Structure 1
Amino acid sequence: MKSQETYYVSAFFWENFNAALKAKLDVERIFRRMNFKPIDLFKDGKKIRVLSITKLFKLVLSSFFTKEYEYSNVFFQNGTGIDLFLAPILKLAFRKGKRIIVIHDVESIRFSRKIDFLREKFVFSKFTHAICHSKQMADFLREKIGFNGTLFVIELFDYILESLPNTSQSPSLGGLPFPDDRKFLVVYAGNLSKWKSGFLYKIAQGNSKFKNYRLVLYGKGFDTIVQNENIELKGAFPPDELPYHLKGHFGLIWDGEETKEISGTVGNYLRYNSPHKASLYIVTGLPLICWKEAAVYDVVKKYNIGFGIHSLEELDEILENISEKEYNLWRENVMNLRNQLAQGKNLEKVINQILGS
C-alpha cells in the first residue's frame, strides 16, 4: 500500500475585508498548523483567485496514472462556487482514503431551492465524512440529502485570534462586568442593512422604552437616517480586529425583519446553522442572547453561556430580572470556552476524531 498523507484543497477565496471569509480562512490556518499538505487548484488573477485548468488537469492525470493520492485523505471546504465540478475529481483521486467535506452553509436549507438540493445531494455524496454545524443539520443531511457517510457535529466554528482580549483586567475590551445601573449593552455584529437586519429598524422606530438595555451595532449598511438615542453605531472593522473593538455585556443572535419572531427562510436556517457571530461573541467574552428555536440555543444551554428568547419584545423584562450572580456565571463559562475557539482547538479536536477512526 502506498503511503497515506493528509491533504486539503486550498479554498477559493482571497484575504480581504470580508467577515464571511473568516471561518474559511481559520479552517485553512488549522490545516496548515496540523501540517496537512495543500492542493492548490487556483491561480491568482488581477483581483480574485481563479481556477487553474493546468493544475486541475494534473490532478486528474495523477488519478489515472501515478495514483499518488489514492490512499491519502483530503479535506475540502464547500462553497467554492465550483463544488459540483471539483467533488467528483476528488473522489476519483482520493478513492481509497477519507474524503472530508467541511460544510459552512447548506444552501438547500438556506434558500429552499430545488436546484440547490440537487447540487448538494450530488456534491456531498462524493465524500466519506462531513463536518457540519449542529445535530439538526446532521439530521437534514441524512434524512433529506441522503448523505451516507459519517457525520461530525462541530457546534461552534473556531474564531482564531492572534492574542486574546483580556476581559478580566481590561474593562475596555470584550465583555463588561455587571452594570451598576442595570443598563446592559447588547452587541449586534453583522450586516446592518434593512434587507438583512430589518428588525433593527423596527426596534429603532418602534415603541420600545429600552429600560434595561442599549443596542451597540458593529458592521456596514446601517441607514443612519434612522435615529434612536438607545442605538449606538460603532462602525465596521476587519474580522481579525473586530473582537478587540467589541464592548458590551451580551452578544445578540437574531435575524430577519421581525422583532416578535423569526420567520421565513431566515428563521428556518437559524434552526440548523451555528452563526459565526456566536463564536465572535464568545472569543470576545460576551454571553449570548439567541432565539430559542435556533440550533445554537442548544449550545447556549449546554455550556450555560447566556439565555434564549422567543421575541425581542420580551428582552427588556428578562434583563430586568437577571441577577449579578447569574450574569457572572455566564461570563465565567464564556471565558472557559473562548480559549478553545480562539486557538482553533474545536475543529482540531473533530479532525483528530476523524483521522483516528
Structure 2
Amino acid sequence: MDNYVISIYDNKKNDAGPKAKQDIDKFLTEKDFKIIKLKFDLNGSLVSKMKKIKYALWDIPRAFKNRRMDTIVLQYPLYSLVLMKQLIKNARKYSNAKLLFVIHDVESLRLFKNNAAYVAAEIELLNVADGLIVHNDKMLAWLKQHGVTTQMVSLQIFDYDNTQELQRSETFKKDVCFAGNLKKAKFLEKMTTQNEVDIYGPNPAKTYSNGLVYKGIYSPEELPKHLTQNFGLVWDGTALSACNGVYGEYMKFNNPHKASLYLSSGIPVIIWKQAALADFIEANGVGIALESLADLDHVLASISASEYKEMRQNAIKVGQKMRTGHFTKTAFSKFHF
C-alpha cells in the first residue's frame, strides 16, 4: 500500500511542539509510510499571507499530483485554516485515499471553548476525515458528544523519540524536575517545597523560592540527559491548588507532551489528579496524581523506597515502548475501513 504523511513545518528550536510531529513522522516511516514535508511560513506577516497564495496554487497540489495514495495522514491543526482546507481539497481531488488526522490540539477545547461558532466549524472540519487519532478517551468522549461522527482511536499517550540513556537510578532523593515554557508556569513563583525542584525552559522568573533551582534551557533532544531527578512534574496555570486558566483546564482533555519527555527518560510523573492523563499514569503505575501541589512534600514523604523502585521500573518499561513508537503504531493498527 502507498501510505503518506503530509507534514507541515514552521521550524522552531527548543520547542517540543514540532518535536511531537517529527516523532509521528519517524515512527510512521517505520510502518512504511512516506513523508511529504511542506515547509511553510506560518506567521501572521503580510509576506506570509502572500506566500499562502503560492502554497495553495502550487506547492500543495504538486504534493498530491501523480502519486498513488491509499492512506494520507495530516497532522492537525496547521494553524492556517486556509492551508488545511487546501490540503483536504487536493487530497480528495487527486486521490481516493483514506484521510486520517493525528490530533495534536483541539482549539475548541482550549482557546475557543466558549465560541459556539468556532466549535461547530472545527467539528465539521474533523468530520471530513475518515479517521482521527485523538489523545485519550476523555478527548474522544468530548468530541463524540459534540458531534464528531467519524471513526476515532485513542492514542493513550504521545510517543517520544529519545536517544539519550534511560535514567535507571532507583535511589529515592524525592527531587523533582519541571520542563516547559516558564512564562506559562506562574504557579512555580508561588511554590515552596522542602524537596529540590529543578526547572528547565525559556522565560524563567527573576527569582524562585528556596528549593526551586533554574537549570537553563536545552533542545528537546538534549534535555533528557539533564533530567536525573526522581519525578517529572506536569502542571499548568497560576495556582498550586489546581491547574487553572486556559491551559490548565485544557489538561482535562489533552496529553501534555512533557509527560512523554519524562517517561521516555524513565522518570515517573507527578500530575494533577483531574488531568485526563492522570488515568494513564495511575493505571500503569508510572507516577502519582495530586489534587494540589500543596500536598507535594507530604506525598513524597509517604512514598517508600520500594514503592518508588516499582514506579521507576514501570516508567522505564513505558519509556522503552515510547522510544519505539508503540502507542502511535498501535493506534494506527486499530482503524477498520
TM-score in terms of structure 1 length: 0.83
SS, match of residue 141 in structure 2:
helix
Are residues 1:188 and 2:178 paired?
Answer: yes
Shift, 1:263, TM fit: 2.7
Residue from 189, 211, 216 that aligns with 1:201: 189
Q: Which has the larger radius of gyration?
A: 1
Shift, 1:41, TM fit: 4.7
Deviations 1:19-68 (A, max 9, x none): 221101111112333232334455689x99x65331324467x5xxx7x5
Are residues 1:55 and 2:59 paired?
Answer: yes
Superposition pairs for residues 276-295 of structure 1, below 5 Å? 276-295=257-276
Separation in 2, partners of 1:129, 1:322: 42
- 8 Å contact from structure 2 (residues 167, 228) kept in 1: no
Residue from 235, 245, 248 that aligns with 2:226: 245
Q: Which residue number in structure 2 is paired with residue 100 of structure 1?
A: 100
Unpaired segments of 5 or more residues in structure 1? Answer: none
SS, match of residue 11 in structure 1:
strand
Taking a change above 3 Å as real, the CA distance of residues 59 and 230 of structure 1, as seen in their structure-2 partners, is: closer
SS, match of residue 330 in structure 1:
helix
SS, match of residue 196 in structure 2:
strand
Q: Which residue number in structure 2 is paired with residue 349 of structure 1?
A: 330
Are residues 1:265 and 2:246 paired?
Answer: yes
Unpaired segments of 5 or more residues in structure 2? Answer: none
Between the aligned residues of both structures, percent identity stands at: 27
- 8 Å contact from structure 1 (residues 198, 256) kept in 2: yes
Are residues 1:142 and 2:144 paired?
Answer: yes
Separation in 1, partners of 2:161, 2:249: 28
Q: Which residue number in structure 2 is paired with residue 76 of structure 1?
A: 74
- 8 Å contact from structure 2 (residues 188, 208) kept in 1: no
Q: Which residue number in structure 2 is paired with residue 159 of structure 1?
A: 160
Shift, 1:118, TM fit: 3.5
Separation in 2, partners of 1:298, 1:304: 10
Separation in 1, partners of 2:322, 2:103: 17
Taking a change above 3 Å as real, the CA distance of residues 40 and 327 of structure 1, as seen in their structure-2 partners, is: closer
- 8 Å contact from structure 2 (residues 131, 150) kept in 1: yes
Taking a change above 3 Å as real, the CA distance of residues 292 and 43 of structure 1, as seen in their structure-2 partners, is: closer
SS, match of residue 182 in structure 2:
coil
Per mean C-alpha deviation after superposition, the further-off stretch among 313-322 and 35-44 is 35-44
Q: Which residue number in structure 2 is paired with residue 109 of structure 1?
A: 109
Deviations 1:307-357 (A, max 9, x none): 111111111111111111111111110011111112222202222333x65
Separation in 1, partners of 2:128, 2:94: 10
Shift, 1:13, TM fit: 2.8
Are residues 1:220 and 2:202 paired?
Answer: yes
Separation in 2, partners of 1:261, 1:243: 27
Q: Which residue number in structure 2 is paired with residue 315 of structure 1?
A: 296
Separation in 2, partners of 1:347, 1:5: 18
Deviations 1:4-25 (A, max 9, x none): 5211112233363322211011
Deviations 1:70-115 (A, max 9, x none): x721100012123442354155237643211000001110112525
SS, match of residue 125 in structure 2:
helix
* 1:108 alignment partner AA: S
Separation in 2, partners of 1:166, 1:121: 40
SS, match of residue 189 in structure 2:
helix
- 8 Å contact from structure 1 (residues 188, 218) kept in 2: yes
SS, match of residue 235 in structure 1:
coil
SS, match of residue 158 in structure 1:
coil
How many pairs are equivalent?
A: 325
Per mean C-alpha deviation after superposition, the further-off stretch among 286-295 and 227-236 is 227-236
Q: Which residue number in structure 2 is paired with residue 123 of structure 1?
A: 125
Superposition pairs for residues 27-46 of structure 1, below 5 Å? 27-42=24-39
Q: Which residue number in structure 1 is paired with residue 310 of structure 2?
A: 329
Separation in 2, partners of 1:106, 1:323: 39
Q: Which residue number in structure 1 is paired with residue 171 of structure 2?
A: 177
- 8 Å contact from structure 1 (residues 87, 123) kept in 2: no
